[in-house]
Structure 1
Amino acid sequence: MTARLTARDITLRYGERVVSTRLSLDVPDAAFTAIVGPNACGKSTLLRALVRLLQPADGQVTFDGREVGDYPGKALAKQLGFLPQDPLAPEDIKVRQLVGRGRFPHQGLLALWSAQDERAVTRAMAASGVSELADRPVQELSGGQRQRVWMAMVLAQQTPYLLLDEPTSFLDITHQYQLLGLLAGLRDEGRTVIAVLHDINQACRFADHLIAMRDGRVVAEGDPSKVVDSALIKEVFDLPSIIVPDPVTDTPMVVPTLQGD
C-alpha cells in the first residue's frame, strides 16, 4: 500500500480539550477510505488536520513527504479538495457561481475564466445532478440540494484527493447511493477519496479501506471484509449485532440485535 497523505503521532486539540493523542495513519492512494465511529470521536477533527485547517499540537501531517503546512495555499488546494460538515454560502450567490469557486486554485493573478474552467464546472454540476439549478440562489435550495451543490464545487476543483465530511448529510436515500456510487467511480479512475460516513453498511459496501475510530483513536483499519465483525461494532458503537453478507455486494452488513421495549 502506497500513501502520499500520512499522519504521524499527531496530537489534536481545541484549546485545552485534547481530541486525539499520538494518532498515526496512512491514507492509501487510489482508494475509497471511509472513516466511521460514534459522534464526537474525532473523525471531523482528523479530516481538518489532514487538510491543515487544524495544526497538530504535536506530530506531523505530510503529503508527498512534505508537511502540509509548508505548501503554498493554491498548491495544496490543487491536490486536496475538502468538503466540511457545515459549509456556509455567501448571501445571494447562485449555484453556478458557487460551483465556480472550486476553480480558484487553477486561476492565475488575472483570474481569467477559461474554457477549461467552464467545462469543469459544467461537468461537476452534471455529475452532482444540479445542472437544472444553475441559476437558482443557493439560499433558496433545500438542504439536500445545497449539499449536492457543495459537492459539485469540490468536484470542479479537480483534485486527485477528495476529503469529505459527511457528504451524504441531508440527502435522501436515492441521492446518498448515487453520490457514493459517484465517489466509487472516481476511485476506480485513480482518485483518492476519504469520507466520514455515519452509515456503517454504506461504508462497507462502497469503501475498500475502513478506519474505525473511538475516543480519538483508531480502533481498526483495513479492508471492511477483514476488519468488520460483531466485536468491532460492539467496541466502536457499543451496539450488539451480527454480521451477514450484503445480498447485493457480499460485503459485511451489520444487523443490530438490540431489542426495543
Structure 2
Amino acid sequence: MTTSLTAQGVTLRYGDRVVSTRLNLGIPDGAFTAIVGPNACGKSTLLRAFVRLLRPDAGQVELDGREVGGYPSKALARRLGFLPQDPLPPEDIKVRQLVARGRFPHQSLLAVRSPQDKEAVDKAMTAAGVTDLADRLVRELSGGQRQRVWIAMVLAQETPYLLLDEPTSFLDITHQYQLLGLLARLRGEGRTVITVLHDINQACRFADHLVAMRDGRVVAEGNPSDIVDATLIKDVFDLPSVIVPDPVTGTPMVVPTLEEE
C-alpha cells in the first residue's frame, strides 16, 4: 500500500485547545478513505492540516515526500482539492461562475479561460447535477442545491486528491447516495478520495479504507470488513450495536441496540 499523503506525529490545536497529539496516519493512494467518529474528535481538524489550512505544532504533513508547507499555493491546489464545511459564496455570484473558480490553479496570471477550462466546468456541473442551475444566483439556492454546486467546483479543479468535509450535509438521501456513488467511481478512475462522514453505514458501504477516530486519535483503520465490529462501535461512539451484513453489498451494517425510553 502506497501512502503519498501522510500525517507524521502531528500535534494539532486551536488556540489553547489541543485536538490531536502525535497523530500518525497515511492515506492509501487510489483509495476511498472515510473518516468517522463522534463530534469534535478531530476529523475536520485533520483534513485542514492535510490541506495546509492548519499548521501542526509538532510533526509534519507530507505529500509525495515533501512537507505541504513547502509547496507553492497553486501547485498544492493542483494536487489537493478541498471542500470544507459550510463554505460561503461571494455575493451575487452565479452557479457557473462559482464552479469556474475551481479552475484557478490551472490558469495563468491573466486568468484567461481555455477550452479545457470550459470542458472541465461542464463536466463537473453534469457530474454534480447542477447544469440546470448554471445561471442561477448561488444565494438563491436551497442548502442541498448549494452543496452540489460547491462539489462541482471541487470536481472542476481536477485534482488527483479530493478531500471533502461532510460532503453529504444538506443533501437529501437520493443525492447523498448519488454523490457517494460518484466519489466511488472517481476512486475507480484513479483518484484518491478522503471524506469525513457521519453515517457509519454509508462509510462502510462506499469506502474501502475506514479511519475511526476518538478524542483526537486514530482508534482503528483498515477495510471496513476487517475492522468494524460491535466493540469498535462501542469504543468509538459509545453505542451498543450488532453488526450484520448489508443486504445489498455485504459490507458491515451497524444496527443500534439501544432500548427506547
SS at match of 1:30: coil
Aligned to 2:138: 138
1:47 is matched with which residue? Answer: 47
Partner of 2:71 in structure 1?
71
Match of 2:240 in 1: 240
Match of 2:212 in 1: 212
Q: Which residue of 1 aligns with 2:89?
A: 89
Offset from partner CA, 1:32-59 (integer Å, 9 cap, x none)? 0000000000000000000000000000
1:136: how far off? 0.1
1:201 matched to which residue of 2?
Answer: 201
SS in structure 2 opposite 1:242?
A: strand
User: How many angstroms does 1:15 deviate by?
Assistant: 1.1
Aligned counterparts of 2:42 and 2:168: Cα–Cα separation in 1: 18
Which residue of structure 1 aligns with residue 120 of structure 2? 120
Q: Which runs of 4+ in 1 moved over 2 A?
A: none
Shift of residue 260, structure 1, vs aligned partner:
1.1
- The AA in structure 2 aligned to 1:22 is R
Residues of 1 paired with 2:94 and 2:15: CA distance? 37
CA distance in 2, matches of 1:174, 1:111: 36
Structure 1 residues 157-186: Cα deviation after superposition (integer angstroms, max 9, x where no partner) = 000000000000000000000000000000
- 1:223 aligned onto 2:231: no
For the residue of structure 2 that corresponds to 1:164, the secondary structure is strand
| Aligned equivalent of 1:153 | 153
One-letter amino acid of the structure 2 residue matched with residue 82 of structure 1: F
Task: Quote the Cα distance in structure 2 between the aligned partners of 1:218 and 1:228.
Answer: 14
- Match status 1:103 vs 2:140: no
Give the SS at the match of 1:121.
Answer: helix
3-state SS of paired residue (2:201): helix
Per the TM alignment, residue 111 of structure 1 is displaced from its structure 2 partner at its CA by 1.0
Q: Which amino acid aligns with 1:244?
A: V
**Cα deviation 1:119-153 (Å, max 9, x = unaligned):** 00000000000000000000000000000000000
Question: Secondary structure of the equivalent of 1:225?
Answer: helix
Q: Identity of counterpart residues, as a percentage?
A: 80
What is the rounded CA distance, in whole Å, between the counterparts of 2:157 and 2:151 in structure 1? 10
2:178 maps to what in 1?
A: 178
**1:110 Cα offset (Å):** 1.4
* Amino acid corresponding to residue 209 of structure 2 in structure 1: H
Look up the SS of the partner of 1:175 in the other structure. helix
Alpha-carbon distance in structure 2 between the residues aligned to 1:134 and 1:215: 42
Length-normalised TM-score, structure 2? 1.00
- Cα distance in 2 for partners of 1:114, 1:88 equals 26
Q: Distance in 1 between matches of 2:39 and 2:17?
A: 16
Segments of structure 1 that go 5 or more residues without pairing to the other structure are none
Amino acid in the other structure paired with 2:146: R
CA RMSD of aligned residues (A): 0.3
Alpha-carbon deviation of 1:28?
Answer: 0.2
Distance in 1 (alpha carbons) for counterparts of 2:101 and 2:112? 13
- 2:35 maps to which residue? 35
2: distance between equivalents of 1:40 and 1:60? 21
Distance across 2 between alignment mates of 1:110 and 1:164: 29
